[in-house]
Structure 1
């Protein structure tokens, strides 16, 4: 790790193809700033992404990276951390990738508590496939495939994480650059699964959950005197239906990450022949 790294060192030479004004630009910038501010550098960082508008974020960042398949980024990120616990592993995805086809992997990654950071760009729409309702879309959100709305309540990803035993739950807004980077930093520094749901507006297909909407509606927990180590308070805020919060909502300060509780502490590339049997037994059990 280096204290001389700037966030621009995490920028690749590939130009993003996101729509102008897409919230993913701000989400990615905050991820890069947080990585630099926590003393990481491209040589010790691995970014895993799935499918969707967020899927190519590893291409746009200068680090080790893997562009995986739809909904499967978390198993890959967990495997990377097992193979080399010294790496800073960051998994990125969207609300469709994470809370629909990847929902099962999300639940089990949360309960295993690997020491990785999971950043979800939640724009409440399927943007890459041109504007269908996503798992987090409002019940009355009209699209070309749901002209009268999905007619089912949206997934509450924070509640899903809490029910699965999460040790760190936070929410951010891609347009609030300073707070967004701070929240990602806290997720990186957490010992365990750092989950951050980021409101990242889609300016092309979602004219409801806009930048103005989130600026007007989000309540910053930093200004609410909220104690993120108070489980009951966190649960009440997560289950409230009339407010949307930004900040760290819940953090278990006694969290011990999965690879430590199972003794996976060495880089498998450096383990002598025959000494990795226990680690491989763990990997076989995991899959």
Structure 2
């Protein structure tokens, strides 16, 4: 007879480990950690069923600070390790913590394939547009012309845009939030956790030592209403301190319009996070402050699709049913074998 065990009521403090948090004072990582601890108790999942996996970087210290299981892996390979774990332990709730350097440079290939497979993972990418742990070199998301220790004359690489990469790989859940927008960040993490499939969340995160102020335009009280646009499913794209500006399509290009004088909300582009075709989500991911547009935050895309981890386990079950559990020794000895003579 099976007995249902009632889970203890957990609090955010129950998810805090006994490790000293070793990020620089004022780092945006603290905010992300705090919101993650607040979200965890709401999931109703035992700590023993939760795993945080990271690569290398400031963000990748995250597993040490969560009172769950965790793996601190090698540079760029967190998604590969998470893929293996989730495949053999589909009962676990798996989170990948990475950064713009770890996830988009050496880890870019692994990240892309994890997303296209639609593994049931939650990937949180901290984007501070710099390499922080290695002391201030430019990263794959650093803007053109940025002067860093490794680009004293200014960066000449065309930057990657994480959400465009994820949507291009047809991620089933894509979102963006900001480290200091704590309520929005917490709700975004909850949405990601509830999604079945790959959840990809980019967080604008400040490195106050090596790239301080990279996202000030999206965070400053006096500017953020005009430089960000909060996405709401089924709602028109309206923004501005007075909610008097919007985004509409001019052909295939977005354009900013002033509401009033013959233009109303019905003329604007309406957000549809459930659209099977990812073109709208991709268009939104290309709207950037440097081009004069507000940058969307919130959920860009949330759709259902087959999951790799579920499908591979279905194949294993079917093969076992049709052919039996298999024999490892017979497998090793089967096929073409030979003996090496001394």
Shorter-chain TM-score: which interval? 0.7 to 0.9
Distance 1:11 1:135 in 2: 31
2:307: which partner in 1?
257
Q: Does 2:64 align with 1:81?
A: no
Query: Partner of 1:229 in structure 2?
Result: 274
Q: 1:233 Cα shift?
A: 2.5
Distance 1:64 1:276, change over 3 A: farther
Residue of structure 1 equivalent to 2:287: 240
1:243: Cα distance to partner? 3.2
Distance 1:187 1:243, change over 3 A: same
Q: C-alpha displacement at 1:193, in angstroms?
A: 0.4
User: 2:22 corresponds to which residue?
Assistant: 17
In 1, are the aligned partners of 2:204 and 2:215 still within 8 Å (CA)?
no
C-alpha distance in structure 2 between counterparts of 1:43 and 1:74, whole Å: 20
My pick for the range that moved more, 46-55 or 23-32, is 23-32
Alignment of 1:10-159 (within 5 A): 10-159=15-164
Assess, with a 3 A threshold, how the Cα gap between structure 1 residues 240 and 5 changes in structure 2: closer, same or farther: same
Structure-2-length-normalised TM-score: 0.74
Mapped partners of 2:282, 2:8: distance in 1? 37
Rate the CA distance shift 1:176–1:275 in 2: closer, same or farther, 3 A.
farther
Distance in 1, matches of 2:52 and 2:213, equals 30
Shift of 1:257: 1.8
Determine if the alignment matches structure 1 residue 177 to structure 2 residue 182.
yes
Unaligned 5+ segments in structure 2 are 1-5, 238-269, 317-323, 332-342
How far does residue 40 in structure 1 lie from its aligned partner after superposition? Answer: 2.1
* SS state at 1:28 partner: helix
Structure showing greater relative contact order (alpha-carbon pairs closer than 8 Å, 6 or more residues apart): 1
The equivalent residue for 2:229 is 219
Deviation of the 1:275 alpha carbon: 3.9
1:30–1:8: structure 2 CA closer, same or farther, 3 Å change rule?
Answer: same
For the aligned residues, what is the CA RMSD?
A: 2.3
> Which of 213-222 and 39-48 deviates more?
213-222
* Mapped contact 2:287–2:296 kept (Cα < 8 A): no
* Higher helix content, 1 or 2: 1
Question: TM-score, normalising length from structure 1?
Answer: 0.87
Count residues with an aligned counterpart: 271
Which residues of structure 1 form unaligned runs of 5+? 267-273, 282-287
